[in-house]
Amino acid sequence: MAGARKYEGLPDIDAAAPDIYETPDLADDVSTLQETSAQSPSDSSDADEGASESSPADSRVDRRHTKANKARSKFQPSRVNADDVDFSDRLNLNRKSYRAYNRRRPGQYDDDPEELGDFSDDEETLDQKLTRLRHEVEQLKVTLEEQKESAESKAQEELYTDVLQISDQLDAITTERRGGTNGAHPDFRRTVHSYTEKSQQLVAKEKGSSSRGQTIEATDHSQLLQTLSKAAEFDSRLNFLENALGLSGSTLPDSSETSTKLILPTLGSLEQLVGTATAQPTQLEAAQLKTRQLLKDAERLSKLRVEQSETGQPPSSATNGENGHAAPDNQEQLSKINAIYGILPTIDSLSPSLPLLLDRLRTLRLLHSGAAEASSTLDDLEKAQEEQDDEIEQWRNALGKVEASLSEGQDTLSENMENMSAWVKELEGRIGKT
């Protein structure tokens, strides 16, 4: 009642309703079944064979007949393995249940002349048969390993006998596939033949690789010729450019009056002329004074040269005194100065070619150092190549000896096998006679 008072304020709550409901007792003449029952539809006309002959009062009874052969065909391919199966109600992780698998194959049953459908789509191919056989062999191996722990019994011995028979049948199939009966001599011949084929294949591969190597060498030679031709063309163009610019050692600038007008010296002279034309008057006056002073010094130097050439002695101390210079007391220093003074004409004659000559010498020094390094590297490479050639020759000789010994061994072994096979045949003939 407390619950009724609690929910009496809510809508659709009947507070006066009883708390206990009772169902009426069933009478004997009252049936709870429906007056009409729906009959399951038939999927074929054969299912209604007896329905047409029955009376309307028995229309609610399903009188379809079940074909035993058709029902059996649904379960005929099934295979159930119930070995070591526990059907008890115990909840144990080690319980084993039965295993069922289906295998369909074409054919007719012995007691049923009617063909059980078209099994052409489900026919096993050779690969499927091999896969199934491999799987079953693995299962058999696992089962035998599990049964090793148990004691030996007669059933297990029979099972091992069947396994040996199946193994013999597979060996017979393998022997027929290889072409020949079991025996040491045929097996030896097949082995030698297989190794001979492999050696021939290796020789063919080596010939193909050598021909490909020759083709590759010819291609590399042609590419090298193309590269050398391009390098020669580039060198000729570079020489022409150097000759035009005046950087070549063969056409030094200002080396002769009949030399062609070069680009760089011409540009230098033009730059000097333009600078002179655009210079300020004060700069021109200063340059004029310097030029006059240089001319005076040159005249004085020429006079000194003439005096020295006439007397054969260096300039006197009086002359140096007139010019405001004191005569050196050290004879060694004077001799060095005289030697340098004697080299001046040669230096003056070589002055136009000295810068280019120095550049050429520096370049030649770098080239000679690089050539020395390259020469040492080439010597090392030649030595390594000679060592490799010697090793390859040694390996080739050893391989030839091994091949010769193998061929001799094969011949000897084949002769021994033939003799043994003849002895075995003779022994078999004697045993047959006895």
Q: What is the per-residue DSSP string for 206-232?
A: HHHHHHHHHHHHHHHHHHHHHHHHHHH
Tokens of 203: 């020789």
Q: Collect all residues with Cβ–Cβ distance below 8 Å to 188 and sequence separation of at least 6.
A: 413, 414, 417
- The answer to whether the beta carbons of residues 253 and 262 sit under 8 Å apart is yes
Amino acid identity of residue 429, one-letter, is G
Q: Which ranges in 120-260 belong to alpha helices (H)?
A: 126-147, 154-178, 184-245
Question: What pLDDT score was predicted for residue 42?
Answer: 45
390-408 pLDDT tens trace = 999 999 999 999 999 998 9
For 246, other C-beta atoms within 10 Å of its C-beta total 21
pTM: 0.27
- The answer to whether the beta carbons of residues 265 and 246 sit under 8 Å apart is yes
Read off the DSSP letter of residue 58: G
Helix, strand or coil, per DSSP, at residue 73: helix
* Kind of pairing between the strands at 99-102 and 78-81: antiparallel
Tokens of 33: 């079944």
For 262, other C-beta atoms within 10 Å of its C-beta total 19
**Rounded-to-integer distance, Cα 243 and Cα 161, Å:** 102
Question: What pLDDT score was predicted for residue 93?
Answer: 60
Give the residue ranges of the chain where pLDDT is below 70. Answer: 1-5, 15, 18-22, 24, 26-59, 92-95, 101-123, 149-155, 175-195, 209-214, 246-262, 312-330
Report which of 193, 159, 168 is spatially closest to residue 179, judged by C-alpha positions.
193
Amino acid identity of residue 431, one-letter, is I
Amino acid identity of residue 25, one-letter, is D
Q: Collect all residues with Cβ–Cβ distance below 8 Å to 59 and sequence separation of at least 6.
A: 39, 51
Q: Collect all residues with Cβ–Cβ distance below 8 Å to 218 and sequence separation of at least 6.
A: none
- The answer to whether the beta carbons of residues 247 and 356 sit under 8 Å apart is yes
What is the per-residue burial (b if ≥16 Cβ within 10 Å, else e) of 65-92?
eeeeeeeebeeeeeeeeeeeeeeeeeee
Owner of token pair 């001599």: 185
**Rounded-to-integer distance, Cα 406 and Cα 399, Å:** 10
